[in-house]
Each structure stands twice: as C-alpha cells, then as structure tokens.
Structure 1
Amino acid sequence: MRQLLFSFVALMFTVVSYAQGKDPILGTWLNPSGEGKVEIYESNGKFFGKLYLVKDKSKKDTKNPDEKLRSRDLNGIVLLKDFSKKGDSYEGGEIYDPKSGKTYSCKMKLKGDNALDIRGFIGISMFGRSETWTRTK
C-alpha cells in the first residue's frame, strides 16, 4: 500500500511539473531588421539570449571594447544575460549591442504570444531605446 501511495504521489508531481510547462519567453525571436535571430534560454533560473545571424554569418565583433574579442564571430554570441522573471516582465539583465560594442541595462516584456518588447537603457529606463522582436518557429 505504501509503495502504491508513493507511486501515486510521484506520478502527480510529474504531471504537475509538466503542466506548468516552459516559460513563455523561451524560444527564437527575430529582431526588427531581420539580420539576426535570438534564441532565449534558461540557465540556473536566469534567462539568456544567443545571437544567430540570418543574413551574414561571417560578421565579426569588430566594435567590441575588448580588442581580444574583435575577431570573434558574432554568430552564436550571448547578447542577453542574467534576466530574472518579475511578473510578466524580465528584468535585471543586460543586452550587448554588437553594432556599437556597448552593453546596456535591459528589460523585456512579452506582448501576446508572438511579440517581445526589448528596452535597452543607461541608468533608468527613461533614457534608452526600444524595439519589438517577433517569435519565429
């Protein structure tokens, strides 16, 4: 009887864990220019995003302030780092802009299932730039 009860509890835990599903921000997003896709993934409770170039996979990180990194490929670099989920937004992270070589504070917010608002800023979010990414399949 105990073993049956234990099996039932284990099965219910598995069902509940599966029902919670994955976080809705996870997946691949296309930037507005169409030059790159960003795969957002979770690692140790934080959210990150890796850049995958669509148009020119040979581009290098030539604007990086670290001279040693200027010859690395942009394809595959992590440009979103250390975001925490706060309600329906993702905050406390940073975004790297390979076009300028600068890193900014950033927050993200889902707009429906297929739009992600990204806001990069310096200091407070009032001083920054926003763009909307669209989900890809």
Structure 2
Amino acid sequence: MTMPIPKLSHALLIAAALMSLPARADSTGEVIGRWRDSDGVSEIAISRCGPALCGKIVWLKQPHVDRFNPDPKLRERPLLGLQVLSDFKPDASGVLTGTGYNPEDGKSYRTTLSPKGPDTLEIRGCVLGGLVCDDDLWTRQR
C-alpha cells in the first residue's frame, strides 16, 4: 500500500519537471552580433535597443556620406555609425520585422531578418505591401 503524497509535494514535483524542460530560444538572440554584407563593403552590428533590435554600420570598406538622403541637411553625415536597422521584433510567425534604411537610395523599407544558420542572415526589404522585395545574405563576423 502506498502513502498519498501531500498536495504541496505534487506542486513541487510539477515545478521541478517544468524547470527541467528546455527554454524556448529567444529568436532575437540569434541575430545579435556583427554581420558583413554579401558584397563585403560594410558591416552592421545588430544589438538590443530597448524591447527591439537595431543595427548600425560599424565598418565600411570605403568611407561614404549619406548622399542620397531625402533631407538635404543629412547628405553630408558619415555612414559609419549610422543606424540602418530599427525596431525589429518578432511578428506572429516569429520572423523579425522592422525598418531598414538603404543608404544606396536614401529610402526606408519594411524589412525582415531571418537566420539561415548560425553564421548566415537573410535581409529582405520590401515595398508595395511585399509585392516587390530584394534580399541579401549577410555573414557573421567573429
């Protein structure tokens, strides 16, 4: 004959079992780091900015200014140090979505960040509600 286990013991056993389950991975953590674009001309550092992620240009093969910016007052600012990724958060499907600024045309686009392995990140910028998109594969820098 077995002795009944008190309710407190049941609660402790359940809590211990739940704590032993693997934690759900933070999808934002996979993209934090330094990334080089596919052309090898720039590197972007992606980090936490409050509850979201952002990215700044931290290396350029050749220094440039923001010459295509729609605001004439900003066309002489250096690209080095410029924040080009803003407000990236997981959407309902878990894809990181935010705004990407493209210094090559001075425009901002709805952008997604999708890890394609530990050292590859797909960047996809879209216009017209996603009808026209362009993507690039970035490589993690160590």
What TM-score do the two structures reach when normalised by structure 1?
Answer: 0.78
Shift in Å, 1:88? 4.6
Amino acid at match of 1:36: S
Is the 1:120–1:128 Cα contact (8 Å) retained in structure 2?
Answer: yes
> Partner of 1:11 in structure 2?
none
> Partner of 2:108 in structure 1?
103
Cα deviations by residue, 1:54-81 (Å, 9 ceiling, x for unpaired):
3113x11010001111010000100000
> Partner of 1:124 in structure 2?
129
* Runs of 4+ that moved beyond 6 A: 19-22
% identical equivalent positions:
31
Which structure has the larger Rg over C-alpha atoms? 2
> Partner of 2:32 in structure 1?
26
Amino acid at match of 2:131: M
User: Counterpart of 2:129 in 1: which secondary structure?
Assistant: coil
Gaps of 5+ in 1: 1-18
Gaps of 5+ in 2: 1-22
What TM-score do the two structures reach when normalised by structure 2?
Answer: 0.76
Q: Report the Cα distance in structure 1 between the residues aligned to 2:53 and 2:124, rounded to whole angstroms.
A: 15
Cα deviations by residue, 1:40-99 (Å, 9 ceiling, x for unpaired):
001111010001233113x110100011110100001000001102455201x1111101
Amino acid at match of 1:38: I
Amino acid at match of 2:135: S
Q: Report the Cα distance in structure 2 between the residues aligned to 1:71 and 1:54, rounded to whole angstroms.
A: 16
Q: Report the Cα distance in structure 2 between the residues aligned to 1:115 and 1:127, rounded to whole angstroms.
A: 23
Q: How many residues align?
A: 117
